[in-house]
Amino acid sequence: MSTLPNPRGNDSVVSPFSTFEIARSEAYFRAVAAVLRRLPCALIDDVTEALWKAYLNDGSIYVFGNGGSAALASHCVCDLAKGTALNGNRRFRVLALTDNIPLMTAWANDSSYEDIFAEQLRTLVNKSDIALAISGSGNSANVLKALQVARQAGAFTIGLTGFQGGKMKPLCDLCVVVPSDNMQIIEDLHVSVSHSVFTCLRNRICNVAPEELLRHHA
């Protein structure tokens, strides 16, 4: 067991962290449940609100991460791009920086792997947009560099991470930290956070009045 700081306060949380301590499925799911109860739900709602404001203002969302987080970036964008195509309302402007493999490999080969997201953002991002970074550790160099580019452009930055937030946390306007040292549990709950945000946004789009969209574009 490990005692970790609560990302929303000064009290500590106790979270199972060692994969080697988990030998049966029930133990794993008990560990997931223990961390689930400690998720910063108010902060997750703040993320939903930030994405909603970007939607109303016709801003773009850029999502990125490595490994399993790259897969979640693509998954998140699929949900937001297609799953919000409802009632003829305007759709989310959203792009996964993980999906252009030729461009990523070109930057990695000709410049540096640290540049694969940052250089894409330099072309695209502006101050009405959101950069949504996903990193289990919060310390991926290419993710950090992209967040710095986004901040320089005046964009809003959101992080989804674990452990204690890593170097990502101070680069984010909002940072959701899953309070666990277990990467599999962190990634499990990253998917849950993404689905929670998507579900709430889809509900808003279903119920938004057309005049509200027009008012924001007036």
pLDDT tens digit string along 135-170? 999 999 999 999 999 999 999 999 999 999 999 999
CA distance 133 to 26: 31
On the question of pLDDT at 208 being above 90, the answer is: no
pLDDT band, residue 13 (cuts 50/70/90) = very low
Beta-carbon-side half-sphere exposure of residue 60 (alpha carbons within 13 Å)? 13
Least confident of 5-9, 50-54, 120-124, 201-205: 5-9
pLDDT band, residue 14 (cuts 50/70/90) = very low
Length reported for the chain: 218
pLDDT tens digit string along 178-187? 999 999 999 9
pTM across the whole model: 0.87
The order of strands in the sheet holding 93-96 is 93-96, 60-65, 130-134, 156-161, 174-177
Neighbours of 26 (CB within 10 A): 9
CA distance 205 to 91: 9
210 or 58, which is more confident = 58
Position of tokens 């990523």? 104
All structural domains of the chain: 40-217 (3.40.50.10490)
Residue 106 to residues 99, 109, 138, 140: CA-CA distances in angstroms?
13, 5, 24, 19
Neighbours of 175 (CB within 10 A): 22
Spatial CA neighbour of 159 closest among 194, 128, 192: 194
CA distance 208 to 61: 20
Query: For position 215, what pLDDT does the model report?
Result: 61
pLDDT tens digit string along 64-93? 999 999 999 999 999 999 988 876 778 899
Inter-helix orientation angle 183-207/68-82, to 10°: 10
Average pLDDT over the chain reads: 88
Residue 117 to residues 64, 87, 94, 217: CA-CA distances in angstroms?
7, 33, 15, 30
pLDDT tens digit string along 96-108? 999 999 999 999 9
